[in-house]
Structure formats: structure tokens, C-alpha cells
Amino acid sequence: MEKLFESMLWNSRIVLVFGVISCMVTGVALICLGLYEVIHLISALFDYLITHSSNVTRDNIILFVVEILDTFLLSAILFIFAFGLYELFISPIENSRQHTSKAYEIKTIDQLKAKLGKVVIMLLVIKVFAYLVEIKPKSMVELLYLAIIVLLVAISLWLGHAEIKRSN
């Protein structure tokens, strides 16, 4: 009875395949959305540079670029998570051993968390950048707040980079 239960418990990890597939499908959908956003950006650039449309401003174009980066980074998070789930709980991916890239090489939960954390931090930095582009300060205090935000983002990136150097 115990062997049967342990076998069922061990094989239940296969249910995570649904999570892996869901992450991959969502990642592919986000890449398609990103490609659509690129087409939208090209259209906006055409309006801005060629027709000089008043509907499109430089800030709009910058925000389009930020949205594109945001979309592709989010898809990267989903793919890293899918690879990590599969490698950690289901089976090692043999094809990943042949590549020199370490982006998808995940051996522990801590490595998965660290990789996801780095990408999430970059996603947050891009979001902060998008908000900074939209904000038009009306007073010196608001300008000071913006400077503090930029300083805090820079410090967080610097600390993250220092941590990477220390772990290597």
C-alpha cells in the first residue's frame, strides 16, 4: 500500500505539465502581442516622421517602445518559469545541455527565484521609466520626488549588480 501511494505521489508531479504548457502558450501569445505592438510602433513612427501627425508625439513613441520591452520581458518570465518548472519537477531537458547559454539552466528553486527576480526587477524598472516619461512635474518638490525615484532605481540596480559579482 505504501509503495502504491508513494508511486502515485511521485507521478502526481506530471500534473505540473499543465502549468508548463500554460506558461508556454501565454508566452507565445505575449510574443505575438509584442509583434503587433512593433507594427503599431512602425505605424506611429511613420505618422510622426513622414506625415507629421499631431496625434503622435515623441512621448507616445517612447511609451510604445517601453510597452514592447515590457511585453517581451513578461514573455521571457513565462518561458523561464516554464523551463524551471519542467527541469525541477518533471525531467531534465537534454537539449538545454548542448547550449552555452545559462539563461534556462535551472537546478534549484533558488536559481529559479533568482532568475525570475532579475527579470521582474527589469520589468519594474521599465514600468518606472514609463511613468517617468508620462509625468510632467509642476513644482520643485515634484521634481525632487522624480529625482529620488531615479536615485532609488539606480541604487537597486547597482545593488543587484553587486550581488551578481559577489556570487560569481
Tens digits of residue pLDDT in 22-61:
999 999 999 999 999 999 999 989 888 888 877 888 878 8
| Overall average pLDDT of the 16-23 stretch | 91
150-165 confidence digits (pLDDT tens): 888 888 778 876 665 5
The confidence band for 97, taking pLDDT boundaries of 50, 70 and 90, is low
- pTM of the shown model: 0.72
State the chain's mean pLDDT as an integer. 82
The confidence band for 14, taking pLDDT boundaries of 50, 70 and 90, is confident
- Cα separations (Å) of 155 from 20, 87, 148, 149, 160? 34, 33, 10, 10, 8
User: Three-class SS string for 95-117?
Assistant: HHHHCCCCCCCCCCHHHHHHHHH
Q: Within its chain, how far is the Cα of 35 from the centroid? A: 16
